[in-house]
Each structure stands twice: as C-alpha cells, then as structure tokens.
C-alpha cells in the first residue's frame, strides 16, 4: 500500500497530546500463548504491534465500526522526536472498524521506522550489541526515535479529536 507520511512539529497540531478528546476507542486483546503460559487469562487492555498478524487474531471486536468517518488524520508521536501524520481513508468510504484502524496504525509505524532507518547517520545497534541498555539509543534520522524499538510498542486506545471538520487520531501507547 502506498501512502505519504507528513513530518510535523507539535506546534502544527490543532490540539495538544493529553488534551481531552471528543471520543476514545479502546483497544483490547486476548492474551497470547506466552502470556497464557505465564498464567494470564484475562484480556489485555492494549494490543502489541510486535506480532501484528498473530496479535490481530487476538484483537477483541475487530469488526466493530468504531469511527463514523470516511477520512481521518492519524498522528504518531511516540516514541518520536518529531510527530508524523498520515491521511487515512476508510476502505468502504464511510467508516472504520477497530481492525482496520489497527492495521493502518501498524502500517504507519512500520513505514516510519523504515524511514528513520533510511535517513539516520548510523545503524541502530541490535539488542545484543547494546550491553546493559535494552532501549535503543536515540537516532538522528528525519523522525528521531527515542528509546523504543518497533517491537516494544503497544496501543491501548485511540483518541479522536474533531476540529474544524477534520477528524484527528492520536494514540495512547504502552511500551
């Protein structure tokens, strides 16, 4: 799928992260096999991006329509120094399901991490090369990733802002 990412500054946003949203879309998932082996049986109040395809099968209410809009602007700001935005268009032209939004979020994060890899001055060291430090060191590409690899991220909710006829989506993340 081809799409454009737009680099932003926090000042470009018509709202501030943490500002009260018009709506919140909760993301819950069934525990995976590792969590079940550790005794976890209750649903998680988030979904990890690390294993999106197996995780997607665990997404609760994936087919539920959760956003009655044919278009929205997704903003990713964590763990980025500079936020990125992507225009989303509902597959059916009218509304987004929880699953469709999660797939678009996953695509956008993957593209952003790839863009950072292509534009940073030195490769990010693998976890085994980081010594005592498990978090990734800050990178100096066009986005600037601070501390977390893609596989560390999970989405707990999607905040919906409606400003001047535009629907904006911002994520609550766990890592």
DSSP string, 44-73: BSSEESTTHHHHHHHBTTTTSEEE--SEEE
Sign of the CA dihedral with 54 first, then 152, 67, and 44 last: positive
Domain contains 129 = no
Whole-angstrom distance, CA of residue 107 vs CA of residue 52: 10
pLDDT at 1: 61
Domain count, the chain: 1
Paired sense of beta strands 84-89 and 71-76, if any: antiparallel
pLDDT at 32: 76
H helix count then E strand count, the chain: 3, 9
pLDDT at 51: 64
Sign of the CA dihedral with 105 first, then 107, 110, and 115 last: negative
List the beta bridge partners of residue 75: 85, 170
Whole-angstrom distance, CA of residue 43 vs CA of residue 48: 13
pLDDT at 48: 82
Domain contains 35 = yes
Q: Which residue has the tokens 């678009």?
A: 104
pLDDT at 89: 97
The range of the structural domain enclosing residue 65 comes to 6-10+21-123+134-174
Domain contains 16 = no
pLDDT at 119: 93
Q: Which residue has the tokens 């737009």?
A: 6
Query: What is this structure's pTM?
Result: 0.90
Whole-angstrom distance, CA of residue 40 vs CA of residue 106: 25
Domain contains 46 = yes
Domain contains 15 = no
Domain contains 47 = yes
* Pair of tokens at residue 71: 């278009």
pLDDT at 100: 96
One pLDDT digit (tens) per residue for the chain, 175 residues: 668 999 999 899 998 877 899 999 999 988 877 778 788 888 888 888 876 666 678 899 999 999 999 999 999 999 999 999 999 999 999 999 999 999 999 999 999 999 999 999 888 877 777 777 677 878 899 999 988 888 788 899 999 999 999 999 999 988 8
| Residue 59 CB partners (closer than 8 Å, separation 6+) | 27, 28, 29, 47, 98, 99, 102
Domain contains 32 = yes
Q: Which residue has the tokens 């059916």?
A: 92
Domain contains 1 = no
């Amino acid at each position: 799928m081809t799409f454009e990412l737009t680099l932003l500054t926090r000042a470009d946003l018509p709202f501030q992260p943490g500002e009260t949203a018009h709506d919140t879309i909760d993301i819950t998932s069934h525990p995976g096999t590792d969590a079940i082996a550790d005794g976890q049986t209750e649903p998680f109040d988030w979904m990890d991006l690390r294993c999106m395809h197996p995780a997607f099968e665990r997404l609760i209410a994936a087919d539920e329509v959760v956003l009655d809009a044919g278009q929205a602007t997704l903003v990713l700001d964590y763990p980025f120094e500079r936020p990125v935005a992507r225009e989303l268009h509902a597959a059916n032209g009218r509304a987004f399901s929880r699953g469709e939004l999660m797939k678009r979020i996953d695509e956008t994060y993957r593209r952003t991490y790839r863009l950072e890899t292509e534009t940073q001055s030195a490769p990010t060291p693998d976890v085994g090369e980081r010594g005592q430090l498990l978090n990734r060191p800050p990178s100096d590409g066009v986005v600037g990733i601070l501390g977390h690899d893609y596989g560390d991220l999970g989405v707990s909710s999607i905040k919906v802002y409606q400003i001047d006829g535009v629907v904006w989506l911002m994520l609550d993340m766990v890592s």
